Amino acid sequence: MDRPDKPQILNRLNRVEGQVRGIARMVEEDRYCIDVLTQLQAVKAALGRVESELLKGHMAHCIESAIVAGDAGEQRKKAAELIQLLERAR
């Protein structure tokens, strides 16, 4: 993955990793369930933002390259990959 925003994505993922470790500590310390659930929602939202950035990059680079190249087979392949990904997320 050669992306100009790679450092920002890695930074976000490192923060998520820290949040998950914090949640594990909260569970170990028997913290209030709502507090743990609140932190879980924050992690899910942070991962959603990373996913969104990666998806935007895929659209701007991989799919756009197939379109610009005029390769109909590659265009279909990239579209099928994206559809499969979205179907798995259901």
Residues contacting residue 49 through CB under 8 Å, at least 6 positions apart = 12
- Whole-structure pTM over 0.85, yes or no? no
pLDDT given for residue 86 in this prediction: 87
> In tens digits, what is the pLDDT along the chain, a chain of 90 residues?
577 889 999 999 999 999 999 999 999 999 999 999 999 999 999 999 999 999 988 888 888 888 899 988 988 998 899 899 889 987
pLDDT given for residue 22 in this prediction: 98
In angstroms, rounded to a whole number, what is the distance separating the alpha carbons of residues 68 and 38? 44
Domain 6-88: top CATH class: mainly alpha
In angstroms, rounded to a whole number, what is the distance separating the alpha carbons of residues 8 and 5? 5
Q: Which long-range contacts (CB under 8 A, 24 or more apart) does 35-44 make?
A: 43/16, 43/19
